[in-house]
Chains A and B, each alone.
Chain A
Amino acid sequence: MPVSILKQREYLIASVQSALTDTEVIELRDALLSEVAKHRARGVIVDVAALDVIDSFVSRSLSTVARTNRLRGAKTVVVGIQPDVAAAMSQFGLTLDSIDTALDLEAGLELLDG
């Protein structure tokens, strides 16, 4: 899975390195959920700047991560959605309503710090 997951303070930062297959999206989803539990993380940032496409499957998987983490008391912030990808998601109606988003990693950390 071309994703690195690092711990920074009480947060996890997952950086997607390249386009993902659906199988890799599932691996990412499951890794995020298990790593949050393992590290007792209070927040997760998912950096998706490397994703060329965010379609219904990726959106649904990110929403699952955010909802599951919320039940555990952890926040999820998706950062770095590319402008063209955001336009396609908007046209499609994939609005990630249940997920916080931020421009980049720094803004995502600010959001988690509240």
Chain B
Amino acid sequence: MNSLNAIQAKERLESKFLKKGLTLAILSGMFYGLYTAFITLGMSLGVWDDWYGVNTAALSAFTITFALGALGSAVNYSISAVWGLGIAGARGKLGDFFRSLKSRPGRIMVIAALVGGPISTSAYVIGLQLAGSIIVPIAALCPAIGAILGRLLYKQKLNTRKIFGIAVCLAASFIIGLQSVAPEAPPQMMLGIAIAFIAAIGWGFEGCVAGYGTSMIDFEVGILIRQSVSGLAALFILTPLFLFIGGDGFRTLSLIGQVVTDSAAMPFFIISGFFTLYAFSLWYKGNAMCGTALGMAANGAFSFWAPFFCWIILGVIWGQDGWALSPIVWFAAILMFIGIVLIAVNPLTVFSKKKGANAK
């Protein structure tokens, strides 16, 4: 039988592990918000300002609507991969990167990267263009989809309390997303919503599968696989494809060249690439440590952190208009916090522990 010392030491260790996993998952959502703010800022300066504004380069409407989003995402993921390469190298993990890449878990990470990177990102951008911002709450369904997939694919436990907590988080994400919904419905709204649903499924799949993969592959190695695959696929397949459809295919190299040599926007891409690395690597590690349901719910607070950091960085620091947060968004953030706590902790257990402590 274990001594009281052993029981207490074990409880402390268990709690430390859960708190670390939860902290990483919450931080991943915050880094996601920071990356969103910096990439949005970068894509409003220099050549981007011209392309989305006066358009002296005479890019086609399709290119502006679809290909530029893919190009921004491709450059961001590629820079993130370079950050990942440097960090993994400095921490002596490059050998494991090449060894993991050839393994079955490595191939799973590649599939998760392709589904979550180019496929879901494109679906999100296309959905946004077709249906407008109504798709934001649709995409926020990804934590619930991830939790369901975790239950189906990896038999991760889901009880009533966790399901209720996920529902509370989803409701909060919906409330935030609805703030940006435009009053007039675009003509292709249903198609846009359907395509955005692909993004939600893709990100749910990525979080669940890559989280499981990260229980076998080191998270700094896993993220290097993710960002390299996403960056290369977006840069050399997705962006040229969209440019080709938009009639600007012959300009692929020239546009990439203009972006990477743009001294006004590029510093912000370098910053956003850094935050992207931790947004995804901590997401994977948090999911691996907490299980998909809790990890994705804690990460799902990005739907609050993204507008929050856009307000701080673009609104308060950069002085751009229109980024202020409404009181309802703050209310939703508190609701989301309650939902995360509900998934993580059984309130009855906490209550009974406190009662026990008082009795002593």
Q: Do A and B bind each other?
A: no
